[in-house]
C-alpha cells in the first residue's frame, strides 16, 4: 500500500465515521435534503479549495483567495448595477481579471524568488483594497438572470435539491482531478512540490509552471466569487474574510501534504465536506456553539500535519532499515 | 552611531510621510493639552500604533530566526478574552493580567515546541493556532463581547501617564526594553546566529532549540500585552475582531524596518519605526479625508516594493550588472591609460 | 571513440577547477573517474551535462562537437546522468518518473494505461518486475537507482554517467546495480563511473582515469593497475620516499587523556577502541566514505554514539550532543566550512567569540572591549588577512575563514580538538601555517584528532594514525610505522603487496 495515500484513506474514514455518528444521533442527517444543503452551502469553498490544492501541491500557498472572492462579488454587483451588460459577459470579464491577477502573483513569486505567502499576502491586501474602493457597502444584485441561476436545481429522490452551484462545484472538482492527475502540467506541479531542483533536472519549466499554478488558483477564486455571489445574491467587500485559511485547512484535512508534492484532488472534496459536516452537526445539535467548528478544524489540522510528519519519518526510517 | 545609520532609512521615510500628511492636514503636528494629558494626531498615532508595535517587537525576533508567527492576532484575542473574563469574574486586576500573560506564553510555547522540537515549518505550525485560536477565544467569552467596568484595567487602554497615553508607554517600554535586553546581553548575537546558520551555531555550542522556543514565547508574551491594551481600550473582549489582520501588519512593520524575511541581522527599533509608519498611514489617510479604502492598497504596494528590494534574485542580478559595469569601466580606463 | 574530451578547462573565482583535462570514452566501456574531494570530478561531469559552461576545450560526441546548455539538452544529445541522490521524484509513481515529460497522451490527456505499459516495457531489459503504480519513494534506493538508470538510458542512449550511484547501497544491492551496468555495457553504451569504493572500481570498470587538483594524473587499464599504485595516484605522493619534516614522534608513552571503548553507531561506524594521549596528535586516515568524518562527528556528539563509552582519568564523559561535548572540553572544526562552520553574515569578531559566548551563557555577555581584544589577538596570531575584525566572515577567502573557525575553538581552549580536513580548499601558505599551529598547540598540551585525506599532512603531523576502511578501524600505526607507504597499504587493504 502506498503510504502517501494513507492520509486520504484517513480522511475518508474520518468522514464516514463522523457521518455515522451524526446519523446515530440525528437520523435525519442521512437525507438527500441535508446532503444537497451540504453541497450548496460549501460550493464556493469547494471551488476555491480546488485551486488551493494545486497551489499547495506545487509547494506554494495562496493567501489572496478570500479577498479575491470578496472582490469578485463586489465587481459583479457594481458592474451589473452601473452597466447594462449581461451577467455572463461580466463573469467572463471577471474570470479573465482574476486569472491575470493570479498569473501576475505567480510571475512575481518566481522572478523575485520570495516566499509565496508574502507575495500572495500583498495580493490579499490589493484585492481586498480594490473591493473596498468599488464599494464599502453590500451591493444587492437584482438582475433577473440571477434569479434564474439561484432557483435552478434538480430534485433528487427524497426531495433534496441539487442546486446549480453545487453542480458547478462538483464539476470543478472533476476538472481539478483531470488537471492534477491527467495532464503533463499536473505532473509538473507534483514534480515542483516534490523538489524544485530535481524537477528542473527532469525538464520542468519552473517559471511557466509556477505562473500557471497561481493563474489557475486565481481562476478558481474568481469562479468561487461568482458562485458566492449567486449564493448570497449580493457583493460585499467584507465577505469571506479568512476563507483562505478554511480552504487551506480543507486541503490539508483532505490529505494533501502542506509542504507540497503529495495529495489528491478528491481528498479536498472530502475535506470540504468534513468541515461542512461539522458545521451541520453543530446546527443540528443546537446546544453547541459555532466556535467549536474552528476548534475542531484546528485540531483536525494539527492531527493531519502530525500524521504526515510521522508518515514521512516512518517511510524514511523504513527505507534506511532496508525495507 | 551605528544604530542611527541602521534606522536612518526608516526615519527618513517616517519624516517624509509626516510631511506629506501635514500637507493634506496641516494640524497633524499640532499638540495641545487637555487636562493633564497631551492631545493631537501625533499622540493618537503613538497610542493607536501600540498593538502593532508590540506585536512587531516579538515578530522581529521570530523573523530573525528565519521563522514567522501567524498566530499573534488570535493570541491577542485569546489573551484579551482571558483578561476580560478574569476581571469580570472578580479575580482582581493583578491575577487577570498575569493570567493573560501566562496564556500568551503558553501559546508561544506551543508554537515553539512545534517548530523547534517537532520540526514543523514555522508558517505551518503557527497556522494551526491561527485557525483554532479564535474558536478558543470565543469559547472563553462564550461568543459574546465580554465587557467589564474595572477602571484599573481600562487604564491600560485609555489611561495616561505623564501626559502620554498608557499604551504608548507600554510599547515604548516593551520595545526598547527588549531591544536593550537583546543588545546588552548576548541574546541578540545568539538569535542572529541561529537565524543565519542554525547548524553551524549548534555545532559551536549555541543551544538553538531552547532559543528558538524562547523566541516564540516572547512573541506570545508581546501578543498578550497587545491583547490587554486592545481589550482595555474598548473595555471589552471581542473574540471575533480583536487582533484581526494584525499579524499581517506586524509582519509588514518588521519588513518596513529593513529586517530580512530570510532571517539574520535584526533591529527591533527599526521595526518599531515601521509600526509607526503603518499607523501614520492609517491615521493620515483618515485625517487627510481620503477614504480608508486606500489603506490596504497602499500597504499592498508597500509590501511589493519592499519585496523587490529584498529579493535575493534581484539583488544578485543588480550585483552582476554593477560588477560588469564596473569591470567594463575599469577596462575602458585602462585602455585610456595604455594610450 | 564515443566521447572525446580535449583540454577541458573551467575556472571559478580563485580556483582553477579543471586544468586542460583530456578524457576518452569508448562504446561498450565502463570508465572509472577517480579523485578525492576537490579533484575536479564533479566539475568535469557538470561541464559534460551542461550544468556548467566550460571555459575552454572541446567535447566531441560521436564525431560531432557538442556544447550542451542544460541537463535536458545534454540528455537530448545523448548524455544521461544518474547522481547519488537527487535523480527522480520520490513522490511520483515509478511509471510517472520513467515517462516524465513524454507521457503518452490521448485527446490531450495522459493515457494511464499506455503510461503503465510503456513504463513496464522500459524496465523489462533490467529484469525489474515491480508495481509501476507505486510511489518511487516506497522502493529501496537500489531500485530507485535502477529506475533512474532506465530513465537516463531511455532518454539519452549513448553515454551514461553514474555519479557515486552506490554510496548508500549494501553489498547485495550493489551487485544488483552492477548487473544492470554490465548489461548496458554489452548493449554498447559508454559508461562513466564515479565512485570512491576501490573494490567496486576493480570489480566493474575497464579503464580508470584519476584526477587530482583539477589535473588529469593518469588513464590506465584497470587490469594493469594495482591498488597501492591507484591510491598513490589519487592521494598524490610517491610511496618509496618519505617527505622531510616528519613529526618528531616519540615512542615514549604519553599520559592518557581520553579513552573510547566500543564506541560506535549502527550504520555509521563500527565500534572501536581508542586512547588519546596528552598532547598527542592522532591522525584519522581513509578514503572518502570510509567513515572518517562520521567518526569525528560521533565523538563530538553531532550524531552521538549508540554503543560504548568515553572517559577520562576521573569519570565517564557525556558526549550526547555538541553542547555536552563542549562542556567536556571538546572542540570541533568541521569539514563543511560553509554549512557547518561559519555564520556567514556575522563579523569575524562575532564568529570568533560565538563559541565562547555560547559556553558562558547569554546572560553574561563578553564585554565589547574583551571581544575586540580576543578577535584582534587571533587575527594577528593566526595571520587572518582582513581589512578589519568587523568584516562579515562570508567575505573572506576559504583559508582565512578556516583560521577564524580555528580561532573560535582556540579561544575556548579545549583539551581535545577535532580537526576534520582543516586544510581542505585553502592555499599553500595557509596550509603550512595551520600545520605549524597544530604543532604549537600540542606542545602546549592540547590533544588533537586530525582527520585528513592528505597522507603528507598525516605523516608530517600525527604521532599515531588510525586507518579506516569501509566504516571500520582497520589499522593503527605508530612510531616509525607512520609512513606514507604504511598508511596507503592499510587503506588499500593489507593483502595487497606494495
Cell numbers describing residue C263: 564506541
Are C372 and C308 in the same domain?
yes
More confident residue, A8 or A38: A38
The mean pLDDT value for A245-268 works out to: 90
d(CA B108, CA B220): 4
Instruction: Single out the residue of C222, C194, C167 nearest to residue C39, CA to CA.
Output: C194
Is residue C415 assigned to a domain?
yes
Task: Inform me whether the pLDDT recorded for A189 exceeds 90.
Answer: yes
pLDDT category at A114 given cuts 50, 70, 90 is confident
Contact C334 B203 (CB under 8 A): yes
Q: Mind listing the pLDDT tens digit for each residue in C289-336? A: 788 888 999 999 999 999 988 998 889 999 999 999 999 999 999 988
Are C100 and C26 in the same domain?
yes
pLDDT category at C239 given cuts 50, 70, 90 is very low
Contact A322 C140 (CB under 8 A): yes
Among C326, C340, C350, beta carbon nearest to B205: C326
pLDDT category at A1 given cuts 50, 70, 90 is very low
C365 DSSP assignment: P
**What pLDDT shows up at residue C269?**
87
pLDDT category at C36 given cuts 50, 70, 90 is confident
The three-state secondary structure class of C336 is coil
Closest CA of chain B from A133, distance in Å: 6
Please name the residue that has the C-alpha cell 498575569: B98
Q: Chain C contact for A28, CB < 8 A?
A: no
**What pLDDT shows up at residue C427?**
67
Looking at A3-7, C345-349, C374-378, which range is the least confident one?
A3-7
Cell numbers describing residue B265: 541581522
Looking at A132-146, B95-109, C152-166, which range is the least confident one?
C152-166
**What pLDDT shows up at residue C244?**
41
- Give how many domains chain C has, as a whole number: 2
Is residue C241 assigned to a domain?
no
Q: Mind listing the pLDDT tens digit for each residue in A47-61? A: 999 999 999 999 999
Q: Burial, C372: exposed, middle or buried (Cβ in 10 Å; 0-12, 13-18, 19+)?
A: middle
Query: Which residue is closest to C364 within chain B, CA to CA?
Result: B185
Q: Are C401 and C393 in contact (CB under 8 A)?
A: yes
d(CA B128, CA A303): 10
Q: Which residues of chain B make contact with A112, given a CB cutoff of 8 A?
A: 307-308, 311, 313-314
Among C339, C345, C354, beta carbon nearest to B264: C345
Q: Mind listing the pLDDT tens digit for each residue in C108-130? A: 899 889 999 999 989 888 888 88
Contact A122 B132 (CB under 8 A): no
Hey, which of B35-39, B88-92, B229-233 has the most confident mean pLDDT? B229-233
More confident residue, C38 or B45: B45
Q: Mind listing the pLDDT tens digit for each residue in B164-179? A: 899 999 999 999 999 9
Q: What percent of chain B stands above pLDDT 70?
A: 93
What residues form DSSP beta bridges with C223? none
ipTM, 2 dp: 0.84
More confident residue, C236 or C348: C348
Q: Mind listing the pLDDT tens digit for each residue in C400-443? A: 898 999 999 999 999 999 999 888 767 666 777 888 888 888 88
Interface partners of A (3+ CB pairs, < 8 Å)?
Answer: B, C
Contact B206 C350 (CB under 8 A): no
Among C360, C362, C408, beta carbon nearest to B204: C408
Q: Which residues of chain A make contact with C73, given a CB cutoff of 8 A?
A: none
**What pLDDT shows up at residue C372?**
95
C84 DSSP assignment: S
d(CA C169, CA B141): 59
Looking at C5-9, C145-149, C166-170, which range is the least confident one?
C166-170
The mean pLDDT value for C448-457 works out to: 87
Is residue C262 assigned to a domain?
yes
Q: Which residues of chain C make contact with B197, given a CB cutoff of 8 A?
A: 339, 342-344
**What pLDDT shows up at residue C72?**
84
**What pLDDT shows up at residue C14?**
64
Are C221 and C260 in the same domain?
no
Q: Chain B contact for C324, CB < 8 A?
A: no
Domain holding C350, by residue range, is 256-496
Q: Which residues of chain A make contact with C141, given a CB cutoff of 8 A?
A: 319
The mean pLDDT value for C3-28 works out to: 86
Contact C302 B203 (CB under 8 A): yes
Q: Chain C contact for A317, CB < 8 A?
A: no
CATH number of the domain encompassing residue C433: 3.40.50.300
Contact C358 B265 (CB under 8 A): no
**What pLDDT shows up at residue C156?**
82
Q: Mind listing the pLDDT tens digit for each residue in B95-109? A: 999 999 999 999 999
Q: Which residues of chain A make contact with B307, given a CB cutoff of 8 A?
A: 108, 112, 114, 118-119, 122
Looking at A316-320, B27-31, B219-223, B309-313, which range is the least confident one?
A316-320
Interface partners of B (3+ CB pairs, < 8 Å)?
Answer: A, C
Is residue A97 assigned to a domain?
yes
Task: Inform me whether the pLDDT recorded for C245 exceeds 60.
Answer: no
**What pLDDT shows up at residue C252?**
55
Contact A182 C110 (CB under 8 A): yes
Q: Chain C contact for B267, CB < 8 A?
A: no
Closest CA of chain C from B187, distance in Å: 5
Q: Are C243 and C485 in contact (CB under 8 A)?
A: no
Q: For the CA atoms of A187, A192, A194, A195, what is the dihedral angle to 10 degrees? A: 140
Contact C138 A193 (CB under 8 A): no
**What pLDDT shows up at residue B336?**
61
The mean pLDDT value for B28-52 works out to: 89
Q: Which residues of chain A make contact with B256, given a CB cutoff of 8 A?
A: none
**What pLDDT shows up at residue B92?**
86
Burial C464-492 (b: 16+ CB within 10 A, else e): bbbbbbebbbbbbbeeeebbbbbbbbbbb
Q: For the CA atoms of B176, B182, B184, B187, what is the dihedral angle to 10 degrees? A: 170
**What pLDDT shows up at residue A317?**
65
Q: What percent of chain A stands above pLDDT 70?
A: 96
Q: Are C374 and C353 in contact (CB under 8 A)?
A: yes
Please enumerate in sequence order all residues whose Cβ is within 8 A of that of B14, keeping only pairs 6 or more positions apart, or say none. B273, B276, B277, B280
Contact B314 A112 (CB under 8 A): yes
Q: Chain C contact for A70, CB < 8 A?
A: no
CATH number of the domain encompassing residue A207: 1.10.3470
**What pLDDT shows up at residue A112?**
85
Contact A322 C170 (CB under 8 A): yes
Q: Chain B contact for C320, CB < 8 A?
A: no
Is residue C89 assigned to a domain?
yes
* B 189-218: CB under 8 A from C: 189-190, 192-193, 196-197, 199-207
Query: What's the number of CA atoms in the CB half-sphere (13 Å) around residue B266?
Result: 37
Task: Inform me whether the pLDDT recorded for C226 exceeds 90.
Answer: no
Q: Which residues of chain A make contact with B143, given a CB cutoff of 8 A?
A: 289-291
- Please state, as a whole number, how many other Cβ atoms lie within 10 Å of the Cβ of residue A260: 22
Domain holding A228, by residue range, is 3-314
Hey, which of B180-189, C259-268, C451-460 has the most confident mean pLDDT? B180-189
Contact C362 B186 (CB under 8 A): yes
- Chain mean position to CA A95: 16
Query: Which residue is closest to A314 within chain C, CA to CA?
Result: C138
Closest CA of chain A from C344, distance in Å: 20
**What pLDDT shows up at residue B250?**
93
**What pLDDT shows up at residue B174?**
96
Please enumerate in sequence order all residues whose Cβ is within 8 A of that of B55, keeping only pairs 6 or more positions apart, or say none. B72, B73, B76, B219, B222, B223, B226, B246, B247, B249, B250, B253
Among A178, A194, A204, beta carbon nearest to C91: A194
Are C178 and C266 in the same domain?
no
Are C366 and C284 in the same domain?
yes
Is residue A321 assigned to a domain?
no
The mean pLDDT value for B290-299 works out to: 79
Is residue A191 assigned to a domain?
yes
- Give how many domains chain A has, as a whole number: 1
Hey, which of A188-192, B289-293, C397-401 has the most confident mean pLDDT? A188-192
Please enumerate in sequence order all residues whose Cβ is within 8 A of that of C68, keeping only pairs 6 or more positions apart, or say none. C48, C49, C50, C74, C77, C79
Mean pLDDT rounded to a whole number for chain C = 86
Contact A187 C91 (CB under 8 A): no
Task: Inform me whether the pLDDT recorded for B13 exceeds 90.
Answer: no
Among C92, C103, C105, beta carbon nearest to A190: C92
Among C300, C358, C363, beta carbon nearest to B206: C358
Contact B118 A306 (CB under 8 A): yes
Mean pLDDT rounded to a whole number for chain A = 89
The mean pLDDT value for B140-169 works out to: 87
Q: Chain A contact for C253, CB < 8 A?
A: no
- Chain mean position to CA C195: 11
**What pLDDT shows up at residue A320?**
53
**What pLDDT shows up at residue C482?**
85
The three-state secondary structure class of B252 is helix
CB pairs under 8 A between A and B: 125
Are C192 and C278 in the same domain?
no
Is residue C145 assigned to a domain?
yes
**What pLDDT shows up at residue C250?**
57
Are C486 and C346 in the same domain?
yes
Interface partners of C (3+ CB pairs, < 8 Å)?
Answer: A, B
d(CA A154, CA C402): 75
pLDDT category at A318 given cuts 50, 70, 90 is low
Contact A302 B128 (CB under 8 A): yes
Is residue A302 assigned to a domain?
yes
Q: Chain C contact for A320, CB < 8 A?
A: yes
Task: Inform me whether the pLDDT recorded for A4 exceeds 80.
Answer: no
pLDDT category at C241 given cuts 50, 70, 90 is very low
Amino acid at each position: 500500500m502506498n503510504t502517501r495515500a494513507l492520509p486520504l484513506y484517513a480522511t475518508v474514514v474520518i468522514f464516514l465515521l463522523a457521518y455515522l455518528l451524526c446519523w446515530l444521533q440525528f437520523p435525519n442527517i442521512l437525507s438527500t435534503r441535508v446532503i444537497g444543503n451540504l453541497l450548496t452551502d460549501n460550493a464556493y469553498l469547494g471551488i476555491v479549495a480546488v485551486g488551493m490544492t494545486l497551489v499547495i501541491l506545487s509547494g506554494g500557498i495562496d493567501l489572496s483567495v478570500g479577498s479575491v472572492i470578496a472582490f469578485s462579488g463586489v465587481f459583479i454587483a457594481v458592474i451589473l448595477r452601473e452597466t447594462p451588460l449581461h451577467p455572463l459577459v461580466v463573469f467572463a470579464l471577471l474570470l479573465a481579471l482574476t486569472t491575470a491577477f493570479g498569473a501576475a502573483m505567480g510571475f512575481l513569486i518566481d522572478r523575485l524568488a520570495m516566499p509565496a505567502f508574502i507575495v500572495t499576502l500583498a495580493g490579499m491586501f490589493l484585492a481586498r483594497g480594490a473591493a473596498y474602493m468599488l464599494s464599502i457597502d453590500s451591493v444587492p444584485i437584482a438582475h433577473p438572470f440571477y434569479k434564474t441561476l439561484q432557483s435552478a436545481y434538480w430534485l433528487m429522490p427524497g426531495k433534496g435539491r441539487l442546486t446549480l452551484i453545487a453542480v458547478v462545484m462538483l464539476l470543478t472538482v472533476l476538472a481539478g482531478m483531470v488537471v492534477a492527475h491527467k495532464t503533463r502540467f499536473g505532473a509538473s506541479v507534483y514534480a515542483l512540490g516534490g523538489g524544485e531542483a530535481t524537477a528542473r533536472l527532469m525538464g520542468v519549466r519552473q517559471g511557466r509552471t509556477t505562473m500557471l499554478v497561481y493563474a489557475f488558483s486565481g481562476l478558481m477564486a474568481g469562479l468561487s466569487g461568482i458562485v458566492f455571489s449567486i449564493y448570497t445574491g449580493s457583493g460585499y467587500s467584507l465577505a469571506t474574510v479568512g476563507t483562505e485559511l478554511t480552504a487551506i485547512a480543507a486541503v490539508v484535512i483532505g490529505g494533501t501534504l502542506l509542504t507540497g508534492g503529495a495529495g489528491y484532488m478528491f481528498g479536498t472534496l472530502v475535506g470540504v465536506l468534513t468541515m461542512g459536516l461539522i458545521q451541520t452537526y453543530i446546527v443540528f445539535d443546537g446546544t453547541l456553539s459555532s466556535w467549536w467548528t474552528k476548534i475542531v478544524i484546528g485540531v483536525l489540522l494539527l492531527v493531519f500535519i502530525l500524521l504526515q510528519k510521522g508518515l514521512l519519518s516512518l517511510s524514511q526510517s523504513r527505507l534506511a532499515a532496508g525495507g | 552611531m551605528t544604530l542611527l545609520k541602521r534606522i536612518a532609512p526608516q526615519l527618513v521615510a517616517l519624516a517624509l510621510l509626516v510631511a506629506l500628511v501635514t500637507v493634506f492636514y496641516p494640524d497633524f503636528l499640532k499638540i495641545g493639552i487637555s487636562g493633564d494629558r497631551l492631545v493631537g494626531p501625533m499622540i493618537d498615532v503613538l497610542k493607536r500604533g501600540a498593538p502593532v508595535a508590540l506585536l512587531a517587537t516579538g515578530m522581529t525576533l521570530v523573523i530573525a530566526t528565519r521563522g514567522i508567527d501567524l498566530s499573534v492576532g488570535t493570541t491577542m484575542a485569546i489573551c484579551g478574552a482571558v483578561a476580560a473574563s478574569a476581571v469580570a469574574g472578580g479575580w482582581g486586576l493583578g491575577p487577570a493580567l498575569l493570567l493573560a500573560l501566562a496564556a500568551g506564553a503558553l501559546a508561544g510555547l506551543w508554537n515553539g515546541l512545534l517548530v523547534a522540537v517537532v520540526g514543523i515549518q514555522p508558517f505551518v505550525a503557527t497556522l494551526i493556532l491561527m485557525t483554532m485560536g479564535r474558536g478558543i477565544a470565543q469559547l472563553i467569552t462564550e461568543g459574546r463581547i465580554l465587557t467589564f467596568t474595572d477602571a484599573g484595567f481600562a487604564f491600560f487602554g485609555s489611561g495616561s501617564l505623564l501626559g502620554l497615553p498608557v499604551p504608548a508607554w507600554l510599547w515604548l517600554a516593551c520595545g526598547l526594553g527588549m531591544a536593550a535586553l537583546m543588545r546588552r546581553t548576548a541574546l541578540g548575537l545568539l538569535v542572529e546566529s541561529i537565524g543565519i546558520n542554525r547548524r553551524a551555531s549548534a555545532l559551536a555550542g549555541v543551544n538553538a532549540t531552547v532559543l528558538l522556543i524562547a523566541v516564540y514565547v516572547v512573541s506570545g508574551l508581546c501578543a498578550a500585552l497587545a491583547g490587554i491594551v486592545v481589550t482595555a481600550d474598548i473595555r471589552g473582549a471581542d473574540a471575533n475582531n480583536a487582533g484581526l489582520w494584525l499579524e499581517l501588519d506586524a509582519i509588514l512593520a518588521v519588513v518596513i524596518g529593513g529586517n530580512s524575511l530570510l532571517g539574520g541581522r535584526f533591529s527591533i527599533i527599526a521595526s518599531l519605526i515601521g509600526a509607526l509608519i503603518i499607523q501614520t498611514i492609517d491615521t493620515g489617510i483618515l485625517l487627510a479625508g481620503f477614504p480608508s479604502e486606500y489603506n490596504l492598497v497602499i500597504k499592498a504596494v508597500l509590501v511589493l516594493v519592499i519585496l523587490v528590494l529584498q529579493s535575493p534574485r534581484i539583488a544578485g542580478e543588480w550585483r552582476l550588472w554593477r560588477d560588469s559595469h564596473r569591470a567594463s569601466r575599469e577596462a575602458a580606463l585602462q585602455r585610456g591609460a595604455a594610450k | 571513440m564515443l566521447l572525446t574530451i580535449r583540454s577541458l578547462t573551467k575556472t571559478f573565482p580563485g580556483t582553477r577547477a579543471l586544468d586542460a583535462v583530456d578524457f576518452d570514452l569508448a562504446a561498450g566501456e565502463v570508465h572509472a573517474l577517480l579523485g578525492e574531494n576537490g579533484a575536479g570530478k564533479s566539475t568535469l561531469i557538470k561541464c559534460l551535462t551542461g550544468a556548467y559552461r566550460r571555459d575552454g576545450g572541446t567535447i566531441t560526441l560521436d564525431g560531432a562537437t557538442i556544447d550542451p546548455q542544460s541537463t535536458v539538452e545534454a540528455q537530448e544529445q545523448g548524455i544521461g546522468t544518474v547522481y547519488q541522490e537527487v535523480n527522480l521524484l520520490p513522490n511520483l509513481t515509478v511509471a510517472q518518473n520513467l515517462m516524465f515529460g513524454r507521457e503518452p497522451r490521448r485527446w490531450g490527456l495522459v493515457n494511464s494505461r499506455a503510461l503503465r505499459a510503456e513504463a513496464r516495457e522500459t524496465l523489462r531489459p533490467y529484469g525489474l518486475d515491480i508495481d509501476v503504480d507505486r510511489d518511487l519513494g516506497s522502493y529501496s534506493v537500489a531500485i530507485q537507482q535502477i529506475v533512474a538508470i532506465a530513465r537516463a538510458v531511455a532518454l539519452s542512449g549513448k553515454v551514461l554517467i553514474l555519479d557515486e550511484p552506490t554510496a548508500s547501497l549494501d553489498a547485495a544491492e550493489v551487485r544488483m546495480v552492477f548487473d544492470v551496468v554490465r548489461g548496458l555495457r554489452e548493449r554498447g553504451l559508454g559508461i562513466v563511473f564515479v565512485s570512491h569504493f576501490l573494490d567496486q572500481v576493480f570489480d566493474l570498470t575497464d579503464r580508470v582515469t584519476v584526477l587530482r587538483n583539477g589535473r588529469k594524473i593518469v588513464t590506465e587499464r584497470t587490469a594493469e593497475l594495482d591498488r597501492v599504485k591507484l591510491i598513490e595516484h589519487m592521494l598524490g605522493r610517491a610511496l618509496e620516499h618519505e617527505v622531510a619534516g616528519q613529526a618528531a614522534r616519540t615512542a615514549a608513552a604519553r599520559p592518557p587523556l581520553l579513552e573510547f571503548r566500543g564506541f560506535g553507531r549502527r550504520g555509521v561506524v563500527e565500534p572501536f577502541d581508542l586512547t588519546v594521549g596528552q598532547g598527542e596528535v592522532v591522525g584519522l586516515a581513509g578514503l572518502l566514505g570510509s567513515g572518517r568524518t562520521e567518526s569525528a562527528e560521533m565523538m563530538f556528539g553531532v550524531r552521538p554514539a549508540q554503543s560504548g563509552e568515553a572517559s577520562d582519568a576521573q569519570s565517564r564523559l557525556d558526549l550526547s550532543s555538541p553542547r555536552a561535548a563542549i562542556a567536556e572540553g571538546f572542540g570541533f572544526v568541521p569539514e563543511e566550512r560553509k554549512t557547518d562552520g561559519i555564520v556567514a553574515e556575522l563579523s569575524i569578531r562575532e564568529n570568533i567569540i560565538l563559541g565562547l559566548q555560547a559556553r558562558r551563557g547569554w546572560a553574561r555577555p563578553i564585554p565589547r572591549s574583551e571581544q575586540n581584544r580576543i578577535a584582534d589577538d587571533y587575527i594577528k596570531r593566526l595571520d587572518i588577512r582582513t581589512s578589519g575584525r568587523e568584516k562579515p566572515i562570508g567575505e573572506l577567502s576559504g583559508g582565512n575563514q578556516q583560521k577564524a573557525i580555528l580561532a573560535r575553538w582556540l579561544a575556548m581552549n579545549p583539551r581535545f580538538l577535532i580537526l576534520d580536513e582543516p586544510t581542505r580548499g585553502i592555499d599553500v601558505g595557509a596550509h603550512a601555517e595551520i600545520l605549524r599551529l597544530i604543532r604549537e598547540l600540542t606542545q602546549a598540551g592540547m590533544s588533537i584528532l586530525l582527520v585528513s585525506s592528505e597522507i603528507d599532512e598525516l605523516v608530517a603531523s600525527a604521532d599515531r594514525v588510525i586507518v579506516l576502511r569501509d566504516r571500520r578501524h582497520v589499522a593503527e600505526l605508530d612510531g616509525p610505522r607512520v609512513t606514507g607507504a604504511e598508511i596507503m597499504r592499510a587503506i588499500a587493504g593489507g593483502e595487497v603487496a606494495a
